[in-house]
Chains A and B, each alone.
Chain A
Amino acid sequence: MNPFPMAAAPAAENNPVLNISIFAAFVAVTLFIVIRASRNNKTAADYYAAGRSFTGPQNGFAIAGDYLSAASFLGICGAIAVNGYDGFLYSIGFLVAWLVALLLVAELMRNTGKFTMADVLSFRLKQRPVRLAAAITTLAVCFFYLLAQMAGAGGLVSLLMGIDGRIGQSIVIAVVGILMIVYVLIGGMKGTTWVQIVKAFLLIAGAIVMTIWVLAINGFNLNTLLESAVAASPEGDAILAPGLQYGSNPLDFVSLGLALVLGTAGLPHVLMRFYTVPTAKEARRSVVWAIWLIGGFYLLTLVLGYGAGALVGPEVIKAAPGGVNSAAPLLAQYLGGPLLLGLISAVAFATILAVVAGLTITAAASFAHDIYANVIQKGRKKADGTPVDADPNAEVKVARRTVVVIGILAIVGGIGAQGQNIAFLVALAFAVAASANLPTILYSLFWRRFNTRGAVWSMYGGLAAAIILIVLSPVFSGSETAMIPSIDIAIWPLNNPGIVSIPLGFILGWLGTITSRSTESRQLAAEMDVRSLTGFGAEKPIEH
């Protein structure tokens, strides 16, 4: 099945029954938690925002669970193992990005929104066009991110069970998709959050154990570790400096760096997590917890990545089924044999499940709350404070149906995206988030004159620019690793569109604003200003 001999990690040592049992145990435990958590899923606030009842530290763990995706764990470990330093650069962008969320976005969003990003963006602008645009960009980001995660699931299982074939991987992607649908349908945001908390805990614990193990082998000396990584790599010293992955195209790397650092605070599934805590202060605490957890984790991946390079070897990793993404599981197998491999792979699976669940509930909330309830069903005015009868229930019903549709789309898309480098697919999601979402978020929070046209131009323009450039890039066509290798329309040289699409998003927001003569409500702008800073009138947690 595997043409390359796996010297350090013979496939025969792999025990699919053990791996599947460990994974099944995780599914059973989380399913139990999800069902327990679902008992109070009555209102829209319960279903979308978990009744806003999580504490800051809990939400911090959930954010870390949501954010430390398969791309972080598998992709970054693999990138460091094979390309050395360039993988580390990824993780730094992912971490520094949290400062944008902490300083500029989290608390103000929590104070002014209800369930979705669009709530904030349409606060003082015209509801319909802004909501629709924000919902569309939300769905686009979720779609790219989902694709990355689903493709990762396929790669992982090929390693776990030695399934190299497309059909076997496709079946596994389908299983992940169905599990995710079940979790989100039953558990809503509360269930999803608990899955993420459990997963973050397992992932960080697993990474700590492996890091200590790797360091112990190297006498707790980072230098020794780096030396053996250099010795094991065909690139030698080059793995200690940037350039192996991006050296041929430094501009692409700058573009990626821009997308990573500005993307996080525009990721809708991250923003939505701020609504699961009772106050803005708890939102701040959750970001602080998330920063410590995420930063700590990336420091661990540095050791794990170089450790995988040193102990397993880049050649073996590249040749393994699952490719670069299999570095961390292979390292686990090298260290602890089939048992640790099974555990770490189950954690990686859990990672994918938790992240796709978070993405799915975000996309479903955006569709049901923004598009269905506020655009399609618009005109059904609510009397002061009391919602129109069937409305919230219908909205949640629509959300649940959307979950099923998104799950099916994710399965189909994930099967199509197999074999793509998943950290890289996530980078594309970040580019869309940074180009289409972040400009409008910052403008509506900080620029008084910003208006509807600016918002609409910025969101559609940023989204279109990012997608068009991706389609015209070498990722999409014209190279062997492209999504569609058979055609060649790659006239744009960069893999990441950020360097063009992000400034464009900002410029369009400004241009649309200054060319529009319509003025927005002075009253609403003042209200948003006051509420965002003081937290007056912010959505309250639900008492059960």
Chain B
Amino acid sequence: MTDQSSERSSAAIDYIAVEESPRFQKLKRTQRSFIFPLAALFLIWYFVYVLLGAYATEFMGQRVWGDITIGLILGFGQFITTFAITMAYVSFAGRKLDPKAQEIREELEKAEAQS
């Protein structure tokens, strides 16, 4: 059944050991403790916005400045948070994830080459 994996899995590497290694566990924790809260945050903020759009139309239609309504401002807010989260993630991944991932990857590649 696992014809695909037999093709790529190099028997030399004990993935279970790698996965259980503290270094990998730390990488995984670092990644998840960043992306999960952030994902929850933007999803909640988006759904608050959608629910306001669906059920609080009068509130959303209030003018704040000229013809700019609360709805438009919150909508622009969604754009801004999306761009901000994107930049935050890129900087985080570049600083905290990439070097660790690369370290482990290179070791695995070396181990594979030796076998």
Report Cα–Cα, A261/B98, bound state, in Å: 27
Give Cα A181–Cα B109 distance, bound, in whole angstroms.
41
Interface stretch, picked from A91-99, A197-205, A405-413, A482-490, is A91-99
| Interface flag for A432 (CB, 8 Å) | no
Kindly state the separation between the CA atoms of A38 and B1 in the bound complex, as whole angstroms.
34
Residues from 113 to 128 in A contacting B, C-beta threshold 8 Å:
119, 122-123, 126-128
Q: Are A92 and B49 in contact (CB under 8 A)?
A: yes
Query: Is there contact, CB below 8 Å, between B51 and A254?
Result: yes
B-binding segment of A135-143, A284-292, A320-328 = A284-292
Q: Which residues of A contact B93 (CB under 8 A)?
A: 284
Question: Closest CB of chain A to B67's CB: distance in Å?
Answer: 4
CB A168 to nearest CB in B, in angstroms, measures 38
Name the B residues within 8 Å of A119 (CB-CB).
4
Residue from B54, B79, B85 whose CB has the most chain A CB atoms within 10 Å: B54
* B69–A284 CB distance below 8 A: no
Contacting A103 at CB < 8 Å: which of B5, B35, B66? B35
Give, as a whole number of angstroms, the nearest-CB distance from B17 to chain A.
Answer: 8
Q: With the chains together, A93 CA to B45 CA distance in Å?
A: 12
Interface size on B, residues (CB 8 A): 62
- A382 and B71 within 8 A (CB): no
CA distance A104 to B43 in the complex (A): 13
Residues of B within 8 A of A381 (CB): 3, 6
B3 to chain A minimum Cβ distance, whole angstroms, is: 5
Interface pick from A21-29, A233-241, A356-364, A419-427: A233-241
Query: Which among B3, B28, B57 is the interface contact of A533 at CB below 8 angstroms?
Result: B28
Q: Indicate which residue in A242, A250, A526 contacts B15 across the interface (CB closer than 8 Å).
A: A526
Q: Is the Cβ of A533 less than 8 Å from the Cβ of B61?
A: no
Contact yes or no, A291 B50, CB < 8 A: no
Q: For chain B, residues 53 to 88, give those with C-beta under 8 angstroms from any C-beta of chain A.
A: 53-55, 57-58, 60-61, 63, 65-69, 71-72, 75, 78-79, 82-83, 85-86
Interface of B is mostly: helix
Cβ A122 vs Cβ B4 within 8 A:
yes
Is A534 an interface position by the 8 A CB rule? yes
- The chain B residue with its CB closest to the CB of A287 is B86
By DSSP majority rule, is chain A's interface helix, strand, loop, or mixed?
A: helix
In whole angstroms, how far apart are the Cα atoms of A523 and B85 in the complex?
A: 34
State the Cβ distance, A321 to closest chain B Cβ, in Å.
31
Residue of B nearest to A262 (CB): B43
Contact of A95 among B68, B71, B78 (CB under 8 A): B78
Known: A533-B28, A536-B109. A104 touches B86 (CB 8 A): no
The answer to whether B60 touches A526, judged by C-beta atoms less than 8 angstroms apart, is: no
For residues 16 through 73 of chain A, which have their beta carbon under 8 Å from a beta carbon of chain B? none
Please determine whether B66 and A226 come into contact, CB atoms closer than 8 angstroms.
yes
Contact across chains for B46 and A535 when beta carbons are under 8 A apart: no
Q: Are B75 and A92 in contact (CB under 8 A)?
A: yes
> Which residue of A92, A230, A291 has the most chain B CB atoms within 10 A of its CB atom?
A92
Measured CA separation A527–B24 after assembly (Å)? 12
A–B pairs, 20, beta carbons within 8 Å? A85-B72, A93-B46, A99-B82, A103-B38, A222-B68, A223-B68, A240-B61, A250-B54, A257-B54, A261-B46, A374-B3, A378-B3, A526-B16, A529-B19, A530-B19, A530-B108, A533-B101, A534-B102, A536-B105, A536-B109
Instruction: Known pairs A127-B2, A291-B83, A523-B16; list 12 more (Cβ under 8 Å).
Output: A92-B49, A92-B79, A95-B79, A99-B42, A122-B4, A127-B4, A240-B61, A241-B69, A243-B57, A247-B57, A257-B46, A291-B82
6 tightest Cβ-Cβ pairs between the two chains A and B: A241-B61, A250-B54, A226-B67, A257-B50, A223-B66, A243-B57
